[in-house]
Amino acid sequence: MTIIEQIISNHSSQPTVKPGDIVDVVIDTRAARDFGGANVVKNLLDNGLTIEDPRKTIFTFDCNPGGSDQKYAANQHYCRQYARENGIKVYDVDAGIGTHLAIDNGLAWPGSTFVSTDSHANIMGAIASFGQGMGDQDIAAAWAKGAVWFKVPASVKIVLTGKRPASLSAKDVVLNLLSIFGANKLLGYSVEIYGEETEKFTLAERITIASMGTEMGAIIILFPTSDSLIRELKMLTGKEYPSVSADADSTYEKSFEIDLSKFVTMVAKPGHPHDDTDIDTVRNKKIDSGFIGSCTNGRIEDLRAAAAVLRGRKVAPGVVLKIVPATDAIWTQAMDEGIIQTFKEAGVMVSNAGCAGCAAGQVGQNGPGEVTISTGNRNFEGKQGKGFVYLASPSVVAASAVAGFITTPDQIPDNPALFHPTGKRDTGHGTRDIKVKVEKPTVVEGRVWIIPKDDIDTDMIFHNSYLTITDIKEMGQYTFDNLKGFEDFAKKAKPGDIVITQKNFGAGSSRQQAVDCFLSLGISCIIAESYGAIYERNAINAALPILTYKPETLAQSELQHGDTIKVDLVTGKMINLRNDKTTIIGKFYDAQLAIYQNNGLL
């Protein structure tokens, strides 16, 4: 049998298996990430299922290690609570990428089986282990039953012949393979890689190549174990492991011999990992940023390669280079070896361990039009942000960050490329649609929302999870959705409505969105006993009418929630149209009125 057939057979009731067989496969380690983990738990709870063996079950929080996104933070905490109740190990936000942790901590080993809600769980092929990324229901089934069904894939054998060029990185190897096989020629196959040079590949190099099996469409890329690999794993885990290789008479559906000596330094062009080209075709392409990390290139060897290029150099002016180690242990090792210091002296941004920009949950994302060179495994449009992503090796990314354009370590210029004005950006001289000054009403009328609370802060008004929104038209829908009892305000509010509240309205941050969300909804006026100092300025400058009142005077109008009132912003006269009771509240002061009539400070 091939390697994949041996592993599946050893984890099933079948003495032998062949391609196309449907087999229940016992899973040695069953993982769920912060991405998808909450849905795994929900599937278990909704179906009344329990954990088959908590000792073989883990959570890994690697997509958003900072918990900086509220939804990720909520999912992480939900998973932690479930883990506490069920005795499940959590590799939390301080640990690193789950698949790397599994290898380094002996949770996966040669001949083992591993599943996760991570499409790159097939990285386990680096150590001759069967790893698979699966959906939430599959993982829930594995947690509950200890096994999942699987169709045995056909196997392909690739033999790399010839000598490996001295400057050829593992990333170059896999990009060359991608250029040959594309995204679908190995679709659905288990791929085994052999060759004299491949036996010398380190664990980190095997990980880089196996990690991109997903981008080649393969079920998995498997390397047979070597003596050096077994030694590396023993150093990491302290455990002895068996050798794993295919039987001498195993059958492959396809076999290829490829000359490794012909491989060259490659770059994947934006949009597709398999759209690969010799680096010379894109050399000197100006970049805005670089990223080194991900499950493909976040090992200590990758960091050493980057440090060798960066030592004694600086990242080019205007370019930002972000580096994220794969695990916290690698981060610590890099610090002990002085690598982190080298990075900092070069002007690199170093972040805590995790998946980083690949998972859209940490540093490494780029903005619209931004050109990034990255060691990630994917560069699909929108995958690592809104810009354009080239894929390359750590040393190429580091060299490019120093040069300011795509290049190799041997061709870094003495002086980096600089950014110069292009004339494409708006300078404000007649190119914008200027707001037309319109006559603003000084008397407003509307339905009253009474919110009897002090110290309503800007997070209650407009939560920080929405701060990336810049279009006022989109802001209104989130108004008060973090204010207990008024979460449905935005759905029920109507243009012209008036909000009446108590002391210190708008306490907290300086966010303009906490003002603009009311303008978005068409709220005509806010009346409060007092305002946070920054909020008051923001509201006045944005021409949002805000007034103050004293409790004893407002009481005279006998206001109730839902009443309609008329307010004169200039005189402070307020009439409750339900009972015609009139009271005087604070009026606009001169500067406020002038800014209001100007339709805002600007």
DSSP string, 53-115: -GGGEEEE--SSTT--SHHHHHHHHHHHHHHHHHT-EEE-TTTB-HHHHHHHTTSS-TT-EEE
Q: 444 pairs with which residues across the strands?
A: 567
Distance CA 202, CA 144 (A): 36
Cα 290 to chain centroid distance, Å, stands at 16
SS3 state at 537: helix
- List Cβ neighbours of 27 (8 Å cut-off, separation of 6 or more): 11, 56, 113, 114, 115, 142, 146, 147, 148
Sign, Cα dihedral of 276, 282, 287, 289: positive
Contacts of 367 (CB under 8 A, 6+ apart): 385, 386, 387
What are the structural domains, with CATH classification, of the chain? 3-262 (3.30.499.10), 266-411 (3.30.499.10), 443-597 (3.20.19.10)
**Residue 150 backbone dihedrals phi, psi, to 5 degrees:** -155, 140
Helix (H, G, I), strand (E, B) or coil at 303: helix
> Rounded to whole angstroms, what are the CA distances from 419 to 270, 320, 416, 482?
21, 13, 10, 42
Residues 316, 313: Cα–Cα separation, whole Å: 9
Task: Specify whether the CB–CB gap between 28 and 181 falls below 8 A.
Answer: no
For the chain, which residues score pLDDT lower than 50? 427-430
pLDDT in the model for residue 580: 94
Residues ≥6 apart with Cβ < 8 Å to 362: 63, 64, 65, 66, 68, 324, 351, 352, 354, 355, 356
Q: How far apart are CA 143 and CA 79, in angstroms?
A: 14
- Residue 582's contacts (CB-CB under 8 Å, 6 or more residues apart) are 557, 573, 574, 575, 576
Between strands 29-33 and 57-60, the pairing is parallel
Phi, psi of 567 (to 5 degrees): -125, 130
At a CB cut-off of 8 Å and minimum separation 6, what does 349 contact? Answer: 320, 321, 322, 323, 363
The residues, any chain, with a CB within 8 Å of residue 94's CB and separated by 6 or more, are 65, 328, 352, 353
What was the pLDDT predicted at 429? 46
**Radius of gyration of the chain, Cα coordinates, nearest whole angstrom:** 30
Q: Distance between CA 467 and CA 475 in Å, rounded? A: 9
Residue listed under structure tokens 């006993």: 529
SS3 content of the chain, % helix, strand, coil (to 5): 35, 20, 45
User: In angstroms, rounded to a whole number, what is the distance separating the alpha carbons of residues 89 and 116?
Assistant: 14
Question: To the nearest 10°, the Cα dihedral for 211, 212, 215, 216?
Answer: -120
